[in-house]
Structure 1
Amino acid sequence: MSELDLFGNPVQENPAPAQTRPGRPVLNDMDAVTAVLERASSDRRYLLVGLAERVYRLADPTDKERVQPVTHWEADTVHQLLKSRHLTIGGGRHEVVSGAMRTTATAVLVPRATRNQLIHWKTLARPDGWTSSKYPA
């Protein structure tokens, strides 16, 4: 039996539109967030490659052309921080190489406000019972 509206007429059930693109899982892990922000602030920064904006990282700080893909949790965290505007996308395009692939990439930048927030987060005391971070620097 279908549902009725306020006037007693049957209500048509409209299916929800299918998502065109699957959403990324929301990460609620401050250790992962601080690890990604520390890495983004380092000399081995993150880069977005291609239309799908896959996340890569410089393989060697002395070679600004060689990049390597990052882990899934790291890529999800970078995209979440971009969406929340804790990270920003640079304006220029850079030629990069990953294996046999040669393409262009855009740098991921860390704004000054985010750097200050990272310093604040790192100075907060961890509650008793919390283990140390599981994410290497």
Structure 2
Amino acid sequence: MFSVIQMKFISILVFSIFILSCRKGPSLSKEEVKELSQNYIKELCKKNLECSAQYLESLPSGEQSAARSGFSSLDQCMAEQSNQSILPDDYEKVTDQQIGKVKRCMDDLLKTPCSEMEQAGGIPSCRELFPDGN
């Protein structure tokens, strides 16, 4: 029926397909996951600066300069967050579900006004990223 060579070839083919179907990690590449995490931190810092600027504008002019010293620049915020990652450091532990939550949070972060965030105590989709309140 099948020769020994054909049987070996079929076995190797089936085994290879099995191994490939069992791959770990998300559908994004390692670099894309890292970039997504960095983009999240950058957007979070931008939103923080936007909301901080709006807050400063709401203060009486005499209090603005004192309050301004407590706020950082985008570069400073990014540097302070450089060791943070919104996704697990171990690439194989990152799931497509986590990636979806980060993307949804980023979308909501970009379109939610600061005043609405303040009233709601943040963004619900972003709070989902930290279920333990960390």
Q: For this structure pair, what is the TM-score category when the shorter chain's length is used for normalisation?
A: under 0.3
TM-score by length of 2: 0.26
Specify the structure having the higher radius of gyration (Cα). 2
Query: As a proportion of its length, which structure holds more strand?
Result: 1
Query: As a proportion of its length, which structure holds more helix?
Result: 2
TM-score by length of 1: 0.26
